[in-house]
Amino acid sequence: MQAQIREYRILSKIGEGGMGVVYKAEDTNLNRLVVIKAIHTTLTSSSEIVDRFKNEARLQATLTHPNIISLYNLFVENGVYYMVMEYAEGETLRQRITRVGLLPPHKCIPMFIQMLDAVGYAHNKGIIHRDIKPSNIFICANDQIKILDFGVAKLTGDKGLTKTGSKLGTISYMSPEQVIASKNVDKLADIYSLGITFFEMLTGQLPYSADTDSDYLIMEQIVKAKIPSVKKYYPYVPDNVDLAIAKATQKEKENRFQSCYEFKQFIEDEEIDVSIAAQKREITFSGVVPPKQKPLPQPFAQHKSNFDFNNGMNEISIEKVFAKASFGKRVGANFIDAFIFVILIVLSYAITNASSDPDHNGGFIILIIIIWIIFLIKDGLRQGRGLGKGMVGLRIINFNKKEIIGIGKGFARNLVNGIIYGISYIVPYAGPIILLIIDISLSISEKYKGRRMVDLILGTMVVGDESINIDAYGNVLPL
């Protein structure tokens, strides 16, 4: 191809396939980068193909959406048809999956929602994509999605390569009705292809075997075999996402989501009544929406990842991430403990005074010791959830090891705290007050993460009961 055509200066070739050649170019009139696709002349020998191509290009030019690559121009020069499109920096979803492997739900779902928005917008304009697959989805900065090639009917059978060398291609994303060459192909074929794409994003692989050169064997699986659960490959995918993919990829199109909006609603909305049949993946529900995922608490420590972005996943490491306890809950827990402690002292005093034992003081001291022992071990026996802390939803962890404390640490924490405040009474009144002010200051500080003096000494911390575990990809696991 010549170095310049019309006002477009060709900078480099960025791709080539069955449809033609793709170039990066500069629009010298508007001083902006563009992408130019030169369509092979073999596809323009039929007037029917040319008319359809031109009509669908005009339709794509009407698509103005932040998640769709814009079409700027369509022209013919020396018998060659050219499309001039928006240029975007980034990589295709195919390149991302090849480079990284599976995409974790907290990254994958927001990107997929953008795809649903874009495809749904096109459907509302009467445009069907027909060839949704990772190589036609572009990822820009900040994971913004741009979908390519709207309205361009592709020839089937073009194949790509996974990172392991397994063959796959357009066929692997085709709906059953496309495979059997049904004339009744509509927007629900796009719904199916989106479901397969979503599956691959979350698992790093296709649901049907691509380890074959036989297009027939792949097509037979598409028509007859039910796709496996996403959780088979990555168990931390939310249930509603797994069910959404199962519904979107139903063999009979009337059993799929009937729109991208319905697909999106199922993933995003707040409540769902999933039947036993749905849990068994006999997807027959309609008009229901999924439970809202519990939001992540703001962690005081970031998770560590063993994920190698060059070589893919080495292993999944688990990191415990805890939410700092609020100052209000800490005050509430201390108030409850103090109130219970006073009640027990008053009760024990009443019991010893009512006793016929002349040694009232001895009995009183014994009961006080018993009460003190209870408070010394209470946090350890209940895995960091003492009497007051348990009531307001707090617990104690070993800050350094990121694990819930046992009885030894719980005993030590209460004992050391008692010793600290006992020593403060060397200076009557002023000592305990000063120590209390110091502890309150530490409790509300960001620098010390709400850890009191005893926590700094023993390496402990009071955290919220909503604390979580998180794996190397940022997925929430049960505590």
Mean pLDDT in the chain? Answer: 75
pTM: 0.56
Q: Are 279 and 397 found together in one domain?
A: no
Please give the tally of structural domains in the chain.
3
DSSP 367-395: HHHHHHHHHHHHHHHTTT--HHHHHHTEE
Token pair of 33, please?
Answer: 């980068």
Cβ neighbours around 123 below 10 Å, total: 19
Q: What is the mean pLDDT of residues 147-155?
A: 59
If asked whether residues 82 and 99 sit together in one domain, one would say no
Residue 49 lies in a domain: yes
Q: Is residue 313 part of a domain?
A: no
Statement to judge: residues 109 and 151 lie in one domain? yes
Q: Considering the domain boundaries, does residue 117 fall inside one?
A: yes
Boundary (domain end) residue, out of 253, 274, 293: 293
What is the per-residue pLDDT across 172-191, written as a single tens digit (0 to 9) for each? 899 998 888 777 788 999 99
What mean pLDDT do residues 341-347 have? 74
Over residues 413-449, the pLDDT tens digits come to 888 888 887 888 788 778 888 888 888 888 777 677 7
Do 130 and 165 have their domain in common? Answer: yes
Q: Are residues 67 and 123 in the same domain?
A: no
Same domain, 216 and 347: no
User: For residue 336, what are the CA distances in angstroms to 127, 388, 444?
Assistant: 64, 5, 19
Q: Which domain holds residue 79?
A: 4-86
Report yes or no on 51 lying in a domain: yes
Which residues are catalytic, by number?
131
Domain at 252, CATH number: 1.10.510.10
Mention every residue, 6+ apart, whose C-beta is less than 8 A from residue 297.
Answer: 321, 322, 323, 464, 466, 467, 468
State whether 266 and 235 are in the same domain.
yes
Mean pLDDT of 451-467: 80
217 and 75: one domain? no
Domain with residue 19: its CATH number is 3.30.200.20
pLDDT for res 359: 53
Task: Pick the last residue of a domain from 86, 101, 133.
Answer: 86
Please, which residues have CB within 8 angstroms of residue 295's CB and are 6 or more apart in sequence?
Answer: none
Q: Which of 55-69, 166-180, 286-300, 346-360 has the highest mean predicted lDDT (pLDDT)?
A: 55-69
Condensed to tens digits (0 to 9), the pLDDT of residues 186-224 reads 899 999 999 999 999 999 888 886 566 677 788 888 888
- The CA distance from 123 to 285, in Å, is 23
Considering the domain architecture, whether residues 263 and 239 belong to the same structural domain is answered as yes
- Position with higher pLDDT, 228 vs 151: 228
| 301 domain-assigned | no
Average pLDDT for residues 352-372, to the nearest whole number? 62
Give, to the nearest 10 degrees, the angle between helix 187-203 and helix 260-268.
40
Q: In this structure, are 77 and 117 located in the same domain? A: no
Q: Let me know whether 65 and 111 are in one domain.
A: no
Is residue 312 in some structural domain? Answer: no
Whether residues 171 and 124 share a domain: the answer is: yes
More confident residue, 197 or 237: 197
Q: How far is CA 200 from CA 162, 207, 449, in A?
A: 11, 7, 40
Within a domain: 308: no
The answer to whether position 286 is within a domain reads yes
Last residue of a domain, one of 65, 86, 107: 86
